Amino acid sequence: MKIGIVCYPTFGGSGVVATELGKALALKGHQVHFITYSQPVRLDFISGNIFYHEVSVSDYPLFDYQPYELVLSSKLVDVVKYEKLDLLHVHYAIPHASAAYMAKQILAKEGINIPVITTLHGTDITLLGKDPSFEPVITFAINQSDAVTAVSDSLKQDTLKYFKIEKPIHVIPNFICVDDYIQQSKSECDKKQFAPYGERILIHVSNFRKVKRIDDVLRVFEKVRKKYSSKLILVGDGPERANIEKLCRELDTCNDIRSMGKITDPTPLLCVADLFLLPSETESFGLAALEAMACKVPVISTNTGGLPEVNINGITGYTSNVGDVDDMANNALKILNDDATLYKFKEQAYEQAKKYDLGEVLPLYEKLYAETLKQA
Ligand code: GMT
């Protein structure tokens, strides 16, 4: 099959999932065309089956805001036509689903029928999509897609709650290639660099946006550190970084916190960690938590959105109400209390991660592609 993948090329979960999906499809012999504004960060893989088409945005001085959606639509028309794509798979509804709809209509005028599959990832529905300034277009673009998927059951329910959807929504969860994480963990894991005296290591990975509630990461860490000597590793960067620097001074924890910035592959850091913290306000799935679990790191998270589908309370870690930092800290202490308990949670987290292995999830996408093509 010749598949066009449209995604954000950045560190966000939707871009990571789209890129990993493209890589896996290419390995299975499909021809994969990434169409986006820069090389996806996780596209660290050379294959004769992978192609990249850059969407260049005009810098015409009249535009205060560049019309990305229009240039993307034009690029999709071009790539579908000249590469003879069989289908387009767009990740993140805004503006990819509506850009694909526009391209589909233009191509239809030329007698080309291109099926469009839209995968909803989270904030495109839970934060942005339901905003009245986007809602009518998003509802329309989702309904016009030939097939729609959501990355968790919770996201499917949110989509049905906030939008008038006339299409079935298939739940296809996010995935990881479990073997990659364990292999790398074994070869590159050097805990002593971060915890020379055997301290417990907590970690958080995100894009440091408000929705991630990184203040709560620091507050949970402060409480845990009162009981056990521990270190906190922060991976990522974003708008909340300045606030975090301020807060760690207030809490007097900066000396035990290492900020690593944006890292393409967090595996060598995850493998040194004892606990992953994800106290998000909302999270449709929590790919970062799944990546941690694949490295045998249990998760302390909130119970919002799709997180309880991934992080099973009392088994792979614990889930708490949003903002309940006391409960999160107590749960962290329960896991870190002794090595036997920590070991049990680590193994259970890993067992859960295996359910989301690429081998389980890739066939679901391939089946949906085949069905969509048949119906188109
Ligand atoms: O979490 C983010 O802010 C990034 C965002 C994205 O779209 O890239 O992540 C969303 O999609 C991920 C992949 O499907 C999910 O694992 C995240 O839970 C989801 N984020 C939110 O719902 C906040």
Question: Comparing C-alpha atoms, which of 232, 234, 240, 237 is closest to residue 213?
Answer: 240
The alpha carbon of 158 and the centre of ligand 1 are apart by a number of angstroms equal to: 14
For the beta carbon of residue 35, count every other beta carbon within 10 angstroms: 27
Q: For residue 186, what pLDDT is reported?
A: 57
Q: Is the confidence at residue 14, as pLDDT, over 70?
A: yes
Both tokens of 144, joined, read 């016009």
315, 348 contact by CB (below 8 A): yes
Helix axes 135-144, 93-109, angle to 10 degrees: 50
Residue nearest to atom 7 of ligand 1 (CA): 14
Distance CA(296)–CA(347), nearest Å, equals: 6
Spell out the residues 6+ positions from residue 42 whose beta carbon is closer than 8 angstroms to its own.
15, 16, 19, 20, 23, 264
101 lines ligand 1 (CB under 6 A): no
154 lines ligand 1 (CB under 6 A): no
Please report, rounded to a whole number, the percentage of residues in the chain having pLDDT higher than 90.
Answer: 84
pLDDT level of residue 208 (50, 70, 90 thresholds): very high
Q: For residue 47, what pLDDT is reported?
A: 87
pLDDT level of residue 244 (50, 70, 90 thresholds): very high
Distance CA(35)–CA(153), nearest Å, equals: 28
- pTM, full prediction: 0.93
Which atom of ligand 1 has the smallest separation from the CA of 290? 16
Domains and their CATH numbers in the chain:
2-175+357-375 (3.40.50.2000), 178-354 (3.40.50.2000)
- pLDDT, one tens digit per residue, over 104-116 is 999 999 999 999 9
The alpha carbon of 288 and the centre of ligand 1 are apart by a number of angstroms equal to: 9
Q: For residue 44, what pLDDT is reported?
A: 79
The alpha carbon of 283 and the centre of ligand 1 are apart by a number of angstroms equal to: 6
Q: For residue 43, what pLDDT is reported?
A: 87
282 lines ligand 1 (CB under 6 A): yes
Minimum mean pLDDT range among 18-32, 125-139, 196-210: 125-139
Residue nearest to atom 23 of ligand 1 (CA): 283
